[in-house]
């Protein structure tokens, strides 16, 4: 019984950590979209905003795909960030097909906004 409870506790901790990273990436996508809209597509400001919002060099390094897709028809920009989530414990490797998950998050912002 004790090994089952220990595995359950470790699984809950891993899921909580994944959720925390997902929230951070959602905020980074929002800040990246905002920076793209305010600076009219300045890629340096876009990447700096994402890195500052992630506030974690490890997570920033795992955010391997950062896409800004402006849409002139709707007047919006959609930012998508994909990243690898490394599983903390090896219990679930077989369930997810490896030791990491690929997760993504996106945010949409109207173009042409001004100010903070």
Write out the DSSP string of 11-42: HHHHHHHHHHHHHHHHHHHHHHHHHHHHTTS-
Contact call for residues 29 and 69 (beta carbons, < 8 A):
no
pTM of the model: 0.80
pLDDT above 70 for 96: no
More confident residue, 20 or 89: 20
Angle at 55 between CA 68 and CA 77, to 5 degrees: 15
pLDDT above 80 for 89: no
Distance CA 35, CA 32 (A): 5
pLDDT above 60 for 115: no
Predicted local confidence at residue 27, as pLDDT: 92
Three-class SS state of 56: coil
E-strand stretches of the chain: 65-71, 76-86, 100-110
Angle at 111 between CA 84 and CA 49, to 5 degrees: 40
74 φ, ψ (degrees, to nearest 5): -95, -10
More confident residue, 16 or 92: 16
Q: What is the mean pLDDT of the chain?
A: 83
Predicted local confidence at residue 69, as pLDDT: 86
**Half-sphere exposure of residue 72: CA atoms within 13 angstroms, side-chain side:** 0
Predicted local confidence at residue 65, as pLDDT: 81
Predicted local confidence at residue 92, as pLDDT: 62
């Amino acid at each position: 019984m004790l090994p089952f409870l220990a595995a359950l506790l470790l699984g809950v901790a891993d899921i909580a950590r994944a959720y925390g990273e997902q929230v951070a990436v959602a905020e980074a996508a929002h800040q990246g979209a905002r920076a793209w809209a305010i600076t009219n597509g300045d890629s340096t400001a876009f990447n700096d905003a994402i890195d500052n919002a992630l506030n974690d060099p490890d997570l920033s390094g795992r955010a391997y795909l950062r896409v800004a897709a402006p849409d002139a028809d709707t007047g919006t920009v959609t930012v998508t960030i994909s990243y690898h989530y490394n599983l903390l414990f090896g219990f679930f490797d077989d369930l997810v097909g490896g030791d990491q998950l690929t997760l993504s998050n996106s945010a949409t912002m109207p173009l042409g906004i001004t100010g903070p």
